[in-house]
Amino acid sequence: MRALVFVALCASLAVGDPQCDLSSALEKFDCFPQDSSNEEECIERGCCWRDTNEFNGEPRKFPPLSEPFCYYPRNYQGYKVLNQTSTEGGLVVYLERVFPSLVDVDISLIRVEVIHQSDEILRIRFVDPLSRRWEPPLPAPPPPKENVIPKYVVRITDDTRLEVTRFIEYHGGNKLIDLDLASLVYTDHFLQISSRLPSNVVYGLGEHKGSLRRSTNFSRFTFYNEDRAPEYNARLYGTHPFYINIEPDGQANGMWLLNSNAMDIILQPTPAITYRPVGGILDFFLFVGPSPANVVEQYQQMIGKPKMIPYWSLGFHLCRFGYKGVDHTRQILRSNLDAGVRIDVQWNDIDYMEDRNDFTLDKTHYKDLGSFVDELHRDGRHYVLIIDPAVSGSEEPGAYPPYDRGLDYDVFVKDAKGQVVRGKVWNRKSSVFPDFTHPNSTAYWTEMISNFHEEVAIDGAWIDMNEPSNMIDGHMDEGCPSDFEIVYTPGDEPLKTKTLCMSDRHYWSEHYNVHNMYGFTEAIATYHALAAARPRKRPFIISRSSFSGHGFYAGHWTGDVFSTWTDLKDSVPGFLEFSFYGIPMVGVDICGFNGNTTVDLCARWHALGAFYPFSRNHNTDDALAQDPASLGEKVVTVTKNAYYWRYKLLPHLYTLFYRAHVDGDTVARPLFFEYPRDSNTYDIDEQFLWGDSLMVVPALHENQKTINAYFPRGIWYDLQNRTATVDAPLQGKYITIPAYEDTINFFMRGGRAVFYQEPGDTTTDSREKPYGLYIFLSHESYAMGELYIDDGESIDAVENRENSLITVLANDREILLGNESRKPIDNQLDRIHFYGVTAKPTGMTVNYQPFTDFQYDASRQILTIYNMDAALTFITITITYP
C-alpha cells in the first residue's frame, strides 16, 4: 500500500505540477526539517521536491537554510478544521490530522484555544485534548482579564490559516500573524508551525550573538542553553523565544512562545517565521503594541517585571578569574583606587574556594576573606562572589555539608534509575547537581548561602555554569543511555553536549523538558536565599543562563566574550537585546573575558562599559591583567572620565530602573524604540539610549578617528562640551563627529530634564551629595523629567511607599518641581543648568521670592542657577525677560 501511495504521489507532484509551481521561491516552506532529505521520502510526505540538478552535486546540508529542497505544495492539507466554537473569552478550534507528516507519530486531534488575554494580548494554545503534555510551570501568566474589548480580529480562513489583524478602528488593520494550520506538525517529540510576518524588520529571538536586527534570509536561531564562548550561528546561554516586529507603517507587534524545550526558530525572506520545538505544546502570546515599548511592557505583563535593584549595584564592579588570594585582590583594588578609579563592588571568581567546592574557603590564600569584606563595607563598598550550582559529590561523609545536606533534603538530580547523577564541573573528582525544581531546593540553598554568609558577608551572588554546564557529556564513566528518543536535534551538537542526559530526572520532569529552565530556577532559589541571609535588603544576582521571566529575579552578563574589536562592537546588540526580555540589569565583561586585550581596545571598552547598565571588568586566569591601573595611564584616564559621567548621572539611571520595575520600561534601549517610524534607526546597533533622554555614540572600531553618528529628529545637546550640537530635521540626519581618545560621545535629547549628583568615591558617598538638574529645551520650548529616591536597598521600598518621586516640568519662563509621594525629603537641590534659553533673563523668583544667583552664557544659550539650597519637594521658579 505504501508503495502505491508513493507512486500516486509521484505522479501528482511531478516537477512542473501546478501544486508545486509556486509563484515565488519565497512561498516555499520546509516540509523535511530533519537531516538527509531525499526525493522519495519528500514525495511520500505529500510534498514537492526541488530539482537538485541545478546544484551540480552540491551536498544538501542540515538544515537547508536556503530555498527548501522539500516544500509544501499549494493547498497542502495535513490538518483540517473539524469544527470551531466561539466562547465568552475567545474561540476553540479542533483540528484533525488527514495526511501523515511522517516526521514522528502524529497527534491526530488538536484543540486550538484562542484566548483574549487582554485588549492588547491574544493567547493561542495548541494542545492534545486526549493526553496531558509537558508545560513549564513558570513563568505563570496571569488569568485573562474580564470584559476584554480586543484591539485585534481573529479569523480562521477557508484555506486553514489562523489570521490575526489589528482592529482597523484602533491602528490601521495590519495583519499581524498568519499561522498555517494545514502544514502544522504535532508529534510527541517534534512540533512545527509557520507564520507569515508583516515585514522583515525583526528583533529579539535571543540569546544569540550577532546584529540587533535579525536577518530573515533563512536564518536559524537555536534555543538550547549551552556553556560555550559566544559565536555566530550557535546556541548560547539563554532561551527567549520572543520577537518584536516593526510593521511597514512603523507600528510594532510581538509574539512569545511559552515552551521550555530545545527548539530551532527559522526566519525566511517571505517574510515568515517557523517554530520547531522538540516537545511540550505550542503556547503563543501575541502582543499588538502598537509601539515597541508597548510590546515589551505587554510581554512583561505575562512574565513579570524586574525586581528593584540595589543602588550600589549601579557602580563600577571589578573582578577577575585568577586573583592569587585576598592580599592580591586587595592590592589590585587599592592600585585602582589610588589611580583615581571609582570602584563600588569587588568580586571574586572560583579562586576563593577550597578544591573549587562551593561554600568553602581556600584556607591558605582566602582564609581572611570575611575580614576583607568587612573592610569593604566600612569603606562604603560591596562584595559579590561566584556560586556554581554543582557541588562536589566525592567528599567523605560528614566532611562537606553541601553534599551531605543535599542528600538529606533529597534535592540532587537523579538518573532514570533513581540514582544521583554524577558529572564533572570544577570539583576535583565528581559533581552533583541540585534540582532547583524540587520543593526542598529553596530551603537547601538558603541554608547553604545563609551559613556561608555568616563567614563572608556577601552582598550578592554571581551564579555561573548553570545551563547546566558539565565538562563531560552526561554521566561520569557511562555517558548517556542510548534509548532516549530524539527525532530532531536543534542546533549543531547533540543535546547531551556538555550537560546532563535527556533522561535524567528533575522533580518537575525529565531534563529533556526542563534543561533550558535550570538557571532560571536557580535564580529563583538564590533570590529567596539572599533575601533570608540579608533580611529586608534587595538581593543582587547576576546569572549566565536565563529563560523567559528571568529578569523578575536576576540580571545577566553575556558570558565568555573575547578581547577583540569584533566582540566590543557586538557587545552593544548583545546587551540591548536583553532589554526586550525584561532583563534591564545586563552587561558585558569590559575588555573581554577570553584572550589578551590591548591598551587601545580596553580604553575604548571602558568608555563604552561606563554606559552598560551592569558595568564590570572581568577576565580569565590565563590572560594579562586588564584592570585600568594594570594597563596604565591611557586606560585609567578614559575610565576616570567615562565613570565620572556614569556616577554623576546615576540618579537618572536609578530612576530608569524604577520605571522598569513598576511599568516594564526598558533602561538601555535601541534608537528604533523611540523612533519606530524612522526606518533609518532600524539597523542602528552601534548607538543606544538610556531611557528616552541620553544617546550614547561609542567608538567601536580599531584606529577609529571619526564616527558617522545618526541623530534622530529633534535637538541634541553635547553635555560634555556644553553646546547644542545638532538640530536634526524631521527625518533625522547623519553627522560625522570626532572619536575622542579620552572620552565617549553622548548627547542629551531636547525636551527632557535629568537629575544628577556630583560623584563621590562610591555610590554611598555620592548619595549624600545635593542634587542638580539639567533641563534641555526642545523646539517647542518645554522639558520634563522625574527623579526616584529611596534608601537604595530596602526590598519593599516601592510597595511600602517608602520613597519619593520628584517630577519636573519646564518651559523657558517657568520651572515646576513636585513630589508626587509627598514624603518629606532630606536632600537639597543645589543648582540647575538650563539649556536652550535664547535670551538673557532680567529677573527670577524661587518659590515666589526674588533670586539673583544665576548666570547666563549667551554663546551657549545656557542659564545656570546656583546655590539654591532648596528642599527637593515643591519648587516653583519663574523667569522674566526683557
How many other β-carbons are positioned within 10 Å of the β-carbon of residue 294? 18
Concerning whether 464 is annotated as a catalytic residue, the answer is yes
Angle 328-545-507 from CA coordinates, rounded to 5°:
120
One-letter amino acid identity for 309? I
Q: Is there a contact between 287 and 298 (Cβ–Cβ < 8 Å)? A: yes
* Residue carrying the nine cell digits 529552565: 517
Q: List strands edge to edge, sheet with 555-557.
A: 586-587, 555-557, 541-543, 460-463, 382-387, 345-348, 316-318, 615-617
- Measure the CA–CA gap between 221 and 203, rounded to whole angstroms: 12
Concerning whether 226 is annotated as a catalytic residue, the answer is no
| DSSP state letters, 187-232 | BSS-EEEEEE-S-SEEEEEES-BS-SEEP-SSEEEEE--------B
Identify whether 33 is preceded by a cis peptide bond (ω within 30 of 0).
no
- Measure the CA–CA gap between 661 and 309, rounded to whole angstroms: 9
Q: Is there a contact between 518 and 466 (Cβ–Cβ < 8 Å)? A: yes
* Residue carrying the nine cell digits 563572608: 456
- Measure the CA–CA gap between 442 and 431, rounded to whole angstroms: 19
Catalytic residue of the set 464, 589, 665, 812: 464
According to DSSP, the β-strands at 345-348 and 316-318 are parallel
Angle 749-344-324 from CA coordinates, rounded to 5°:
135
Identify whether 481 is preceded by a cis peptide bond (ω within 30 of 0).
no
For the chain, the distance separating the N- and C-terminal CA atoms, rounded to the nearest angstrom, is 97
Which letter does DSSP use for residue 771 in this model?
A: E
Which cell is 552 given? Answer: 523578575
Q: Is 112 helix (H, G, I), strand (E, B) or coil?
A: strand
Which cell is 624 given? Answer: 594579562
CB under 8 Å to 645, separation ≥6 — which residues?
A: 610, 719, 720, 746
Q: Is 12 helix (H, G, I), strand (E, B) or coil?
A: helix
Catalytic residue of the set 467, 570, 577, 665: 467
Q: Is there a contact between 689 and 696 (Cβ–Cβ < 8 Å)? A: yes
* Residue carrying the nine cell digits 590591548: 598
The closest alpha carbon to 548, from 508, 505, 589, 578, belongs to 578
Q: Is 618 helix (H, G, I), strand (E, B) or coil?
A: coil
State the DSSP H helix or E strand holding residue 42, giving kind and residue range, or none if neither. helix 39-44
- Measure the CA–CA gap between 348 and 783, rounded to whole angstroms: 44
Residues labelled catalytic: 464, 467
